[in-house]
């Protein structure tokens, strides 16, 4: 997965430490059932979680970003 992301110059997906067991489970279940949607859905949830955490950090920062110079 990382190789494909780097090859296409995409950012790497962050797997949160607290979700590592679910990550392994989704890999195993995907292999057992032969259904890529299981892993894809997990990765999508991780990416959404990452974006939400970044937005929260941005919104909580005192400096923020302003177009008013």
Q: What pLDDT score was predicted for residue 63?
A: 62
Q: What pLDDT score was predicted for residue 50?
A: 92
Q: What pLDDT score was predicted for residue 36?
A: 96
Domain locations in the chain? 12-48
* pLDDT one-digit tens code per residue, 3-59: 998 999 988 899 999 999 999 999 999 999 999 999 999 999 999 999 999 888 888
Please state, in angstroms and rounded to a whole number, the distance separating the CA atoms of residues 35 and 29: 8
As given in the structure block, the two tokens for residue 32 are 């057992």
Q: How far is CA 4 from the centre of its chain?
A: 15
Given a cut of 60, whether residue 64 has pLDDT beyond it is: no
Q: What is the DSSP string of 12-57?
A: PPPPPGGGHHHHHHHHHHHHHHT-HHHHHHHHHHHHHHHHHHHHHH
């Amino acid at each position: 997965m990382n190789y494909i992301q780097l090859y296409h110059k995409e950012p790497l997906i962050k797997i949160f430490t607290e979700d590592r067991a679910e990550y392994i489970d989704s890999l195993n279940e995907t292999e057992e059932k032969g259904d890529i949607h299981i892993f894809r859905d997990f990765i999508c949830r991780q990416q959404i979680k990452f974006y939400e955490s970044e937005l929260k950090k941005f919104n909580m920062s005192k400096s923020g970003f302003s177009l008013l110079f």
